[in-house]
Structure 1
């Protein structure tokens, strides 16, 4: 398994203190853990002597209120990845269409159930935008499931809602489930213009997964949720789901969603101010083709032929800077990297090192 943010592996391999690493490989909100949540965790410390609510009543209610969802359609898990695996296990697809390049765990989850994977590749010459006509042609009754990520990881492309709604209808006509991973959707201002969360109750062939890890800076907590209205799939999830999937601290996180609107505003303000500045500075280097980001990370293609990604990554590690080598993403060559958008000081540190390179 290869993912960004594996600072423990880098510490063991290179002998660095992981706390000294400037990690651009993981797309985590640089504002860090919300202050309200830190206080809540301290207040809840003595509750660790008890099991969490096995039904996660308060957490689901708060998620439902935040996103205007019916509680009976909400499922929580130990990170968005667990929800993805649980959903796919419940569907048990024999044949699935996955849109690449994308998060590798979709394919792993499908193959874990014994399913086959058909590949649909976003094209570099189309800046990795989803081609509506071509994907519609790939939907047929032999499929059980279509999986895509919106906003997409690692390309940062955002697919508009009308295209997705047409895809959803085509899937329903062919008795195919559509699963959309919206793990980064909270970073998108006006997310309701792109998200299909509001369509879950209308279309029971739609499954949506979300993660709190990235937006709220809590990758170590592991907390995500999924939404589905299909009666049989919900029955499978309830019957075969692992009990106590979320720990005590995670079970109280719903209060942050409802009470810490200031954190959300600060995040969108930071992203709105820092993204265009950082992108323009990266372009000035003439090292990369910079793909326009829609969220908090940027896909870059290395241009100079005398420099390869492996060499660039090693030179950055000497400076204790970690970036995401994208060579293990299907559909991307060994010329691509992905970097997170961090605070101005950290971004300037990366720019300074890249200028020297």
Structure 2
């Protein structure tokens, strides 16, 4: 399962695509930037040519933006393709995935023939944690560990300093570490939190970035990795060079030169974080996990309530992310993207109306109206 399936949602509802407000995909609601749409219009005539399989111009922009040499860069058709290209070259015997996690990690690892090792990110108090110390005890040379921060689906960010010792220990034992930073552009302290610089010097450390989320171009798709030059050479020697199309490259060239967009993004997010904390975060009927980026994770008291709320929201045209496909989560969890102020306010009101409808029709409410004692029945899927 994956968020953003707006075509399927519209078909299920029997309505038009523009009637859907998609809170299921963690995309920047203000994008794409005008610089990107302009670049696409100017570049339309280039579709008559094959794309540059070397990705030279976009690599030049990325190299300047992140102060890395071009031979450290690998570009792909989204972060997912970059991850697959990387895992094909690394060919790990075992891939360690901290759950819950983006399901493509497991799918790609299986496609390259790697054994999957799931490690639970159990929630202590109000947050998940990265169990890297447990992995350090068991991982061996030739294994690969996928570290996703900021974390999807929780939205939390684990500070680099808190995991550096464990990561360095893994690297010292020749365990490959892949850091997926697909959402790091939403952090104000992105420069101090990224692993890009370390990935240029250590052949076992690899950092992946995505343009899809922060620049809102999922229909084009662009991602890149910063890796050791030896790893980059191996990847480029055996891949489909045409996978990054002309328009995706032009969009990325424009996007990664638009510094003002990131500043605008961070200002928008600070304002919307304040609203989420003062609304969803203050509702005692649910639990909102700590979050640092453009989405947040909610837990309901039981799965039947969560399913009811999601159904009511869908009927109103608001699509949220059901979390049943995430290992370690379940039907009681719901992931919500942060959109524009108007849309966030509308979703909040739709949620309140759905909660009122549930209470009006719940067995508890009925028994209270009859003057009987009542209790809430947990359906066994409450994982908090």
TM-score for both structures, normalised by structure 1: 0.94
SS at match of 1:124: coil
SS at match of 2:212: coil
Residue equivalent to 2:346 = 349
Deviation (angstroms), 1:319: 0.5
Deviation (angstroms), 1:122: 0.7
Residue equivalent to 2:327 = 330
Deviation (angstroms), 1:308: 2.8
How is 1:1-357 mapped onto 2 (pairs within 5 angstroms)?
2-126=1-125, 127-141=127-141, 144-229=143-228, 231=230, 233-303=231-301, 305=302, 307-357=304-354
Alignment size in residue pairs: 353
Deviation (angstroms), 1:70: 1.3
Deviation (angstroms), 1:238: 1.3
Residue equivalent to 2:380 = none
The answer to whether the 8 A contact 1:156-1:299 is kept is: yes
SS at match of 1:28: coil
Deviation (angstroms), 1:252: 1.8
The answer to whether the 8 A contact 1:151-1:185 is kept is: yes
The answer to whether the 8 A contact 2:65-2:257 is kept is: no
What do the CA deviations read for 1:216-270 (whole angstroms, capped 9, x no partner)? Answer: 1111111111111061x32331121102121111222344245422211111000
Deviation (angstroms), 1:23: 0.7
SS at match of 1:240: coil
Give distance in 2, aligned partners of 1:332 and 1:307: 14
The answer to whether the 8 A contact 2:179-2:207 is kept is: yes
Deviation (angstroms), 1:306: 8.1
- If you compute each CA radius of gyration, which structure gives the higher value, 1 or 2? 2
Give distance in 1, aligned partners of 2:197 and 2:45: 37
Give distance in 2, aligned partners of 1:256 and 1:208: 22
List runs of 5+ in structure 2 lacking aligned partners. Answer: 355-384
Deviation (angstroms), 1:177: 0.4
The answer to whether the 8 A contact 2:119-2:131 is kept is: no
Q: Judging changes above 3 Å, is the alpha-carbon distance between structure 1 residues 123 and 52 closer, same or farther for their aligned structure 2 residues?
A: same
The answer to whether the 8 A contact 1:302-1:336 is kept is: yes
Deviation (angstroms), 1:293: 1.0
> In angstroms, what is the RMSD of aligned CA positions?
1.6
Deviates more, 1:164-173 or 1:62-71: 164-173
SS at match of 1:183: coil
Deviates more, 1:278-287 or 1:146-155: 278-287
Deviation (angstroms), 1:193: 2.1
Q: Judging changes above 3 Å, is the alpha-carbon distance between structure 1 residues 16 and 165 closer, same or farther for their aligned structure 2 residues?
A: same
Q: Judging changes above 3 Å, is the alpha-carbon distance between structure 1 residues 12 and 174 closer, same or farther for their aligned structure 2 residues?
A: same
Give distance in 2, aligned partners of 1:78 and 1:157: 26
Give distance in 1, aligned partners of 2:42 and 2:203: 39
What do the CA deviations read for 1:175-209 (whole angstroms, capped 9, x no partner)? Answer: 11001110001001111222111101221101111
List runs of 5+ in structure 1 lacking aligned partners. Answer: none
